[in-house]
Structure 1
């Protein structure tokens, strides 16, 4: 599965001069975990996360506030709290590689960029997880559609249970098992593909 198949687009972005409060409203109102930050030309210059927006803004109760907190003005603009070293991926990056990097770095969202086009999407752990929440019937319908486009309608029998796909080839051609498996495995939500002999 490739990033372009799961990423969110169009991308909601903010600028470095966006007020922290406005960015917080976007994150909480839309259920995002991060927002790409772009400059006036639309070029990616950073990313701001929930954790970034909390930086320097959560203070002790006024009755026990520390002296240094009283003397410090909280950040007011995204540019003051955003992360500038941003991991990015391309639309054709394999989702498995993105998830591995997210886990290794402890991040939840990654901007998607394409040469010559700049920022084209964002992929989050929620986007990836949503693929595994697809119903078996939706997965089966898409697998059938793709196999019909590949080899003609009616050739492949398709059954799906819990994201596990079973294919049966009406022509029983072993040379077609691997290509058909690849076609089926590229469908969002497919966890495994097996090809069994046709029962007819």
Structure 2
């Protein structure tokens, strides 16, 4: 559906090119999506992560309370916040969705409703989750010199919302889907300007 084509249209393409015995509709959709990603990668050229990454990072320590993290999300409008150790080493990333899932889980286990669970994130109880309990730890990471085009498969499929950029084990930036879309838009605008 992301391609903007109905399954019947994909089936017709396969029939028109006499490929229906060799490929299925899902196979064709994957091939088209891969070709689109490759074309977008060409549009990005030799652009590296250090050219598009967000550098002014707001980070938290692993013992930060969930309420502090929620306040940072509200204040800055971020969707992800890195969790770092005292030396700036990446421990994980908290996504807004992580906090929502935690509050929902708490609502199902111990609270009378979702609203009460969200409120409990702000209370002074000892059971309040800390950043280390909510963060995602199994994220891919890249170096500042990593070509932006290599991030397309990671960020485009919906599985990853942001990719930390590390230099010698320390986080120096983060590339979000918004950063990637902005880079693609600038690249497309430059390409359109060159054709005029």
CA RMSD across the alignment: 3.1
Could you say what secondary structure the match of 1:164 adopts? helix
Aligned counterpart, 2:160: 107
Gaps of 5+ in 2: 1-46, 118-125
Aligned partner of 1:90 among 143, 154, 171: 143
What is the TM-score with the length of structure 1 in the denominator? 0.58
More helix by share: 2
Aligned counterpart, 2:69: 23
What is the TM-score with the length of structure 2 in the denominator? 0.59
Aligned counterpart, 1:119: 171
> Aligned partners of 2:111 and 2:181: how far apart in 1?
43
> Aligned partners of 2:111 and 2:92: how far apart in 1?
36
Shift of 1:56: 2.8
Q: 1:63 to 1:50 in 2, by over 3 A?
A: closer
Shift of 1:10: 2.4
| 1:44 and 2:72 aligned | no
Compare relative contact order (CA 8 Å, sep 6+) and give the higher one, 1 or 2.
Answer: 2
Aligned partner of 1:12 among 29, 37, 58: 58
Shift of 1:45: 0.9
Q: How many residues align?
A: 137
Aligned counterpart, 1:164: 192
Gaps of 5+ in 1: 140-159, 167-193
Aligned partner of 1:130 among 182, 189, 195: 182
Q: Which structure has the bigger radius of gyration? A: 1
Q: 1:4 to 1:19 in 2, by over 3 A?
A: same
